[in-house]
Amino acid sequence: DQQVKQNSPSLSVQEGRISILNCDYTNSMFDYFLWYKKYPAEGPTFLISISSIKDKNEDGRFTVFLNKSAKHLSLHIVPSQPGDSAVYFCAASEKREKLTFGTGTRLTIIP
Amino acid sequence: KAGVTQTPRYLIKTRGQQVTLSCSPISGHRSVSWYQQTPGQGLQFLFEYFSETQRNKGNFPGRFSGRQFSNSRSEMNVSTLELGDSALYLCASSYIPHTGELFFGEGSRLTVL
């Protein structure tokens, strides 16, 4: 039972444009959401998070949007840079306990 | 400050053997979690330890076990290895539980033949 789903395994975006990565969840008890970025041969690194009491959180070029009624969150990267090419995982938790991860989306930024 | 260190980085075992993986968390971090990453399955939670006590456990068979030592270092063990156990095993640490944000190591790549 995949409680966190990333339906796009891959995404290609031109450098300088906006990258939008999507994530859906089914467990209505999830109240804290995170995005992690993973380069090959490295562990995932934390990117940005959002609590369910907010619908948007911004950090530089990265913005996460949360739509609780649709159980959907998205990560926007503007502008996209070649160094953003990586696998992006969304994750969710209830009361910041164990994280449930999606299967990841491989983002490729085309120069 | 040194990051999360996992050893060994790569290992090959045969079916039926057992394996022990080690994780040293970031200095001062007392919570350690383990995840299994396989293609198409993402990262799946194995267990979490804090102050030498298992706080949470994922949906894995009893062949998967772990422990944490007084210095916060952690080990996980997989007994009677199966082909499906081939995966990247990731360890993550945080200062305390309930932070949500985890710091991951580079992982131990296990191949079972």
pLDDT tens, residue by residue, A25-65: 999 999 999 999 999 888 999 999 999 999 999 999 999 99
Going by pLDDT thresholds of 50, 70 and 90, the confidence category of residue B1 is low
Question: Nearest by CB to A96, which of B4, B42, B98?
Answer: B98
Interface of A with B in 53-82 (CB under 8 A): none
Give me the mean pLDDT over the B21-42 stretch: 92
Q: Is the dihedral of CA A77, B5, B95, B20 positive or negative?
A: positive
Which residue from A89, A8, A27, A74 is spatially nearest to B90, judged by alpha carbons?
Answer: A89
Q: What is the pLDDT, as a whole number, of residue A85?
A: 98
Which residue from A23, A87, A51 is spatially nearest to B88, judged by alpha carbons?
Answer: A87
Residues of A in contact with B104 (CB under 8 A): 36, 43-45
Strand, coil or helix: B9? coil
* Residue B3, CA distances (Å) to A10, A24, B85, B108 in order: 29, 31, 26, 15
Residue type, A43: G
pLDDT tens, residue by residue, B40-49: 788 999 999 9
Least Cα separation, residue B83 to chain A (angstroms): 21
Tokens standing for residue A106: 């491989």
Least Cα separation, residue B27 to chain A (angstroms): 17
